[in-house]
Amino acid sequence: MYRHFFKRALDIVLSVLALVLLSWAFLIIAVIIKADDPGPVFFSQKRVGKDKKYFKLYKFRTMKMSTPHDMPTHLLENPEQYITKVGKFLRKSSLDELPQLLNIFTGKISVIGPRPALWNQEDLIAERDKYGANDIKPGLTGWAQINGRDELEIDVKAKLDGEYTKILKSGGFKAFAFDVRCFFGTFFSVLRGDGVVEGGTGEIKKHEQEVGKK
């Protein structure tokens, strides 16, 4: 019941409330983006949704117009060169994710769930298949997001997504409680700036390897 009804109801209520209460923030951010780097305020990417169906995910634009499109940041050579001045702050604070409230309202993603992979992130998609994590609706934030985010290796991230999927499919109060845990855990992670590594995937393992060489 929770997974198929109450979770969607909560998504609608939370996204509408957030869109109304944060409308002033949308306006301010839009003006700053325009002033910092001429071009669109928003940008969209083709992402993988529930059952591996594609959809357009929206964000505030944080990178220059010359940035290669539909390419994961960690695959860019020297990604810092593409990020705008205001974009650094938006990404660090996760404010660039706010337009995804529209994706939540339209039902493409949920508030809580695995972060939607880019259409060409075949390694992550394949790993999630092992755990059935592609069978559920992705989310704005989730279990993997509050346990390392960009610092996680692909296989570790997929395993965490699998853990979330298993709990969600079990349904009932346990699934609801876990969503609540992820929801509030996200606030603490954002405030601390946890796991945000530009151009980095698997930074924890890389750091351990570097330490081991010393």
Question: pLDDT, tens digit, for every residue of 109-146?
Answer: 999 999 999 999 999 999 999 999 999 999 999 999 99
Task: Tell whether the model's pLDDT for residue 151 goes beyond 90.
Answer: no
Task: Tell whether the model's pLDDT for residue 178 goes beyond 90.
Answer: yes
Reported confidence tier of residue 1, pLDDT bands at 50, 70, 90: confident
Res 187: pLDDT: 87
Res 212: pLDDT: 47
Altogether, the residues listed in the chain come to a count of 214
Instruction: Give the span between the Cα atoms of 82 and 189, in whole angstroms.
Output: 25
Collapsing DSSP to helix, strand or coil, 162 comes out as helix
Alpha-carbon dihedral angle through residues 96, 27, 182, 196, given to the nearest 10 degrees: 20
Task: Tell whether the model's pLDDT for residue 205 goes beyond 70.
Answer: no
Res 192: pLDDT: 73
State pLDDT tens for residues 18-38.
999 999 999 999 999 999 988
Res 70: pLDDT: 63
Reported confidence tier of residue 211, pLDDT bands at 50, 70, 90: very low
State pLDDT tens for residues 10-22.
999 999 999 999 9
Where helices occur in the chain by DSSP H, the ranges are 7-21, 23-36, 85-93, 100-105, 122-129, 154-170, 172-192, 203-213
Res 204: pLDDT: 47
State pLDDT tens for residues 59-87.
999 988 877 766 666 667 777 788 899 99
